[in-house]
């Protein structure tokens, strides 16, 4: 998987997609800082995710952003998306590969080097670690730190995605410590002070 240092943001959708979202997404993607967009809708039906996914996929294609699906390998296949992100309780990488072949598959490793070592054997396209900071988007069960980033970088060249409470105040520290991509959601979509396009422009 190619890494473009200017495109360091791994953007995750809000939990609910409102009508205004598509315009906001278009403005945000114009920033040219986003490598991936992940559709993450935990409570929507397959049919609803399919409809929303098709709309978002068109926008992502226009701006050459990789479009990924959270957790749902069958939805990824149906949409012919660029890949899928898997949690530890989802489909295993080996099974996912059979379904979506050579597409991008990323895996959550929480804050565990042990989990990462196990997953590396299954050849994921990236490893995701977190949460690095407090997040309002998700209940935090696992806390990751900079020391973890340094350790994982010594044992693998697989790209690393850092996740959890990342914003304009703390993002540089993660990039300086060799996180390849920063997964961001709440700072962009639930920011009370800044519009999505303004929020993304603060990440330079």
Task: Please check whether residue 48 lies inside any domain of the structure.
Answer: yes
CATH number of the domain where residue 72 is located: 3.20.20.70
pTM (2 decimals)? Answer: 0.96
Task: Please check whether residue 74 lies inside any domain of the structure.
Answer: yes
Task: Please check whether residue 102 lies inside any domain of the structure.
Answer: yes
Domain that residue 75 falls in: 9-201
The answer to whether residues 10 and 70 touch, using CB atoms and an 8 Å cutoff, is no
- The pLDDT tens digits of the residues spanning 45-92 come to 999 999 999 999 999 999 999 999 999 999 999 999 999 999 999 899
> Over the chain, what is the mean pLDDT?
95
Task: Please check whether residue 69 lies inside any domain of the structure.
Answer: yes
**Residue 148, token pair as written in the block:** 């973890």
pLDDT of residue 132: 96
**Residue 25, token pair as written in the block:** 């997404």
Task: Please check whether residue 1 lies inside any domain of the structure.
Answer: no
**Residue 27, token pair as written in the block:** 């403005």
> What DSSP string runs through 91-159?
--HHHHHHHHTTSEEEEE-TT-HHHHHHHHTT--SEEEEE--S--SSS-------HHHHHHHHHH--S-
Task: Please check whether residue 116 lies inside any domain of the structure.
Answer: yes
**How many residues in total does the chain contain?**
204
pLDDT confidence bin for 137, thresholds 50/70/90: low
The answer to whether residues 54 and 67 touch, using CB atoms and an 8 Å cutoff, is no
Task: Please check whether residue 4 lies inside any domain of the structure.
Answer: no
Indicate the number of domains in the chain: 1
- The pLDDT tens digits of the residues spanning 81-120 come to 999 999 999 899 999 999 999 999 999 999 999 999 999 9
For 86, counting Cβ atoms within 10 Å of its Cβ (0-12 exposed, 13-18 middle, 19+ buried), the class is buried
For 192, counting Cβ atoms within 10 Å of its Cβ (0-12 exposed, 13-18 middle, 19+ buried), the class is exposed
pLDDT of residue 32: 93
């Amino acid at each position: 998987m190619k890494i473009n240092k200017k495109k360091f943001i791994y953007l995750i959708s809000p939990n609910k997609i409102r009508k205004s979202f598509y315009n906001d997404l278009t403005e945000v993607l114009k920033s040219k800082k986003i490598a991936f967009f992940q559709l993450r809708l935990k409570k929507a039906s397959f049919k609803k995710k399919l409809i929303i996914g098709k709309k978002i996929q068109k926008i992502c294609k226009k701006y050459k952003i990789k479009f990924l699906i959270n957790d749902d390998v069958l939805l990824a296949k149906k949409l012919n998306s660029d890949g899928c992100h898997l949690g530890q309780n989802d489909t295993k990488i080996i099974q996912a590969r059979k379904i979506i072949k050579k597409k991008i598959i990323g895996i959550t490793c929480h804050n565990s080097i042990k989990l990462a070592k196990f997953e590396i054997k299954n050849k994921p396209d990236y490893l995701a670690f977190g949460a690095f900071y407090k997040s309002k988007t998700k209940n935090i069960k696992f806390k990751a730190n900079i020391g973890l980033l340094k350790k994982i970088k010594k044992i693998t060249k697989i790209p690393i995605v850092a996740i959890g409470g990342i914003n304009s105040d703390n993002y540089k520290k993660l990039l300086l410590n060799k996180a390849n991509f920063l997964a961001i959601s709440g700072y962009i979509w639930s920011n009370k002070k800044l519009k999505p396009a303004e929020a993304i422009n603060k990440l330079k």
